[in-house]
Amino acid sequence: MGRDVFMHSSGRTAHFLLFEIWILAIGTCGTVTITVPTELILGIVGQPLLLPVNYSTETKDQDIQITWTFQSHSSGSMLLITAINNTLTPDMEHGHRFFLSPPSATLLINPVELCDDGEYTIKVTVAGEKLTSASQQLTVHVNVPVSKPVVHSDPAWGAVEYVDNATLTCTVSEGTKVIYQWLKDGKPFRTSTRHIFSADNKMLFISPVLKDDLCNYTCVAKNPISVNESEPIAPNIYYGPYDLMVKSEPRFKISEGVFAVGKGEPVWFKCSANSNPPNVYSWFQKANNKTTPIHRGPVLNIRSEKVPEKADYMCCVYNNITGKRDETQFTVILSATGKERQKQKGSSLHSLVIIVGLSLTLIACILLYFLLRRYFPRKVITKERNYRTPTDYIRAHQVSADQEPSVEDCGIYEFVAVPEPADFPQVPPDKLSTVYDIIRVPDIHTVYDVICQTPKTS
């Protein structure tokens, strides 16, 4: 149908071009020549319409008769008006609307009516020495301009998606030979298997309707003389719920579907889903394998001191027209409040101070130790025991027994804990030459210490 429209409009353009270039339709018969600018003339009901014609004759001073006749499917053929020289003879039945002003052959119809739609013939006869005549045919299309089209959507209350069908009907109260076109959101309609047009294009069937059909539809009504466009109409389509989600303040959200809220902090959750009509919202708390309804409406406010440490909540949406529902679950975890967070911060600061203090003390002690060692050196002399003879040991033993050691006693002393004789190992006696041999024998637990005392003799 849209194609027909296109062809028709291009036809109009062609006629317009014809008009523009003044194609000459020449009726030649004898010496009379008739010229018309265009063979198709479009008339608007109620307005005057001119049927322009020129003719020429070779000779002057002769009788000239101009005759207009009309023929249509409904009324057949009839004489409209005739003039001989400058004398008009209008048809008594139709003549009151047809005007001719000889010698011009141009016919004026005022006002033009729908019944004037048809074929017109102009005939010019010249009676001189010889009788000659010429005729030319013109086509007149008379139309009523289209009024503003109105689109009705059916069912008027709305259609449920995937269930109902919808019909859009375009009507014009006035207008003849109207053809219809549809625009979807201002663009030419692309048909699909779900969209069917009636034969006259006045109606658009959508079967079944979907949410995608929720657009502005415009009906364009046109005829050869006018174009008029309807107000856009969006059919009422019930759909959803879609895109269900729960929102809260972003600072509470820790991951998808998990919110952490400080104890004592008030918190809100907003549930939203795309749906027509608006959803019915209900909230549930899930705890201990029990689902408890807690609220109705899109926004849930929670006083966090009144809720468990960790609880699951559910937002259920229900579209009471489509009968569809959806639900989403989320978890609320109680975390430290701002106050507790500060307290925690304070205590961690405290322990940090303690750690730093302890470390500093330790470092000071180590430093002190090294300083002391530096200024009060303590020389430890270890001498190879091999340098000492058993006599040294014997002497040492004697000295230790002595009450008052003499100056000569100054030297190197070594205390040796010698194991009990019974514990002496089974070393062959011949190999035991010194006490050292005993001590050195492996597996004998020997403890020895060296004390050095070097008094200065002055």
Ligand X SMILES: *[C@@H]1O[C@H](CO)[C@@H](O)[C@H](O)[C@H]1NC(C)=O
250: left (phi over 0), alpha (psi -120 to 50) or beta: alpha
| Distances in whole angstroms, Cα of residue 149 to Cα of each of 12, 169, 187, 232, 341 | 22, 10, 17, 10, 69
CA distance 393 to 399: 10
Residues 192-211 that bind ligand X (CB under 6 A): 207
Describe the strand order of the beta sheet including 150-154 as a list of residue ranges: 150-154, 166-171, 203-206, 195-197
- Choose which of 25, 40, 280, 432 interacts with ligand X (CB under 6 A): 280
How many other C-beta atoms lie within 10 A of the C-beta of residue 332? 23
CA distance 10 to 5: 8
Q: How far is the CB of 98 from ligand X (least distance, A)?
A: 18
125: nearest Cα among 86, 83, 88: 83
Residues in binding contact with ligand X, number by CB under 6 A: 26
**Of 126 and 396, which has the nearer Cβ to ligand X?**
126
Q: How far is the CB of 10 from ligand X (least distance, A)?
A: 21
CA distance 102 to 105: 6
225: nearest Cα among 151, 150, 141, 148: 141
Q: Are 427 and 434 in contact (CB under 8 A)?
A: no
When asked if residue 395 is in the footprint of ligand X (CB under 6 A), the reply is: no
Q: Which two tokens stand for residue 354?
A: 């303690």
Q: How far is the CB of 55 from ligand X (least distance, A)?
A: 9
**Of 298 and 419, which has the nearer Cβ to ligand X?**
298
When asked if residue 61 is in the footprint of ligand X (CB under 6 A), the reply is: yes
**Of 77 and 207, which has the nearer Cβ to ligand X?**
207
**Of 219 and 246, which has the nearer Cβ to ligand X?**
219
- Choose which of 30, 95, 102, 232 interacts with ligand X (CB under 6 A): 232
Burial class (CB in 10 A: 0-12, 13-18, 19+), 163: exposed
**Of 281 and 393, which has the nearer Cβ to ligand X?**
281
- Choose which of 47, 59, 77, 85 interacts with ligand X (CB under 6 A): 85
**Of 69 and 275, which has the nearer Cβ to ligand X?**
275
When asked if residue 40 is in the footprint of ligand X (CB under 6 A), the reply is: no
Q: How far is the CB of 191 from ligand X (least distance, A)?
A: 14
Binding mask 289-328 for ligand X (x = CB under 6 A): x------------------------------x--------
Q: Which two tokens stand for residue 314?
A: 């559910």
Selected range binding ligand X among 3-11, 30-38, 115-123, 330-338, rule: CB under 6 A: 30-38
248: nearest Cα among 336, 339, 320, 328: 328
Q: Which residues bind ligand X (CB under 6 A)?
A: 35-37, 52, 54, 61, 63, 84-85, 147-148, 164-165, 207, 214-216, 226, 228, 232, 234, 277-278, 280, 289, 320
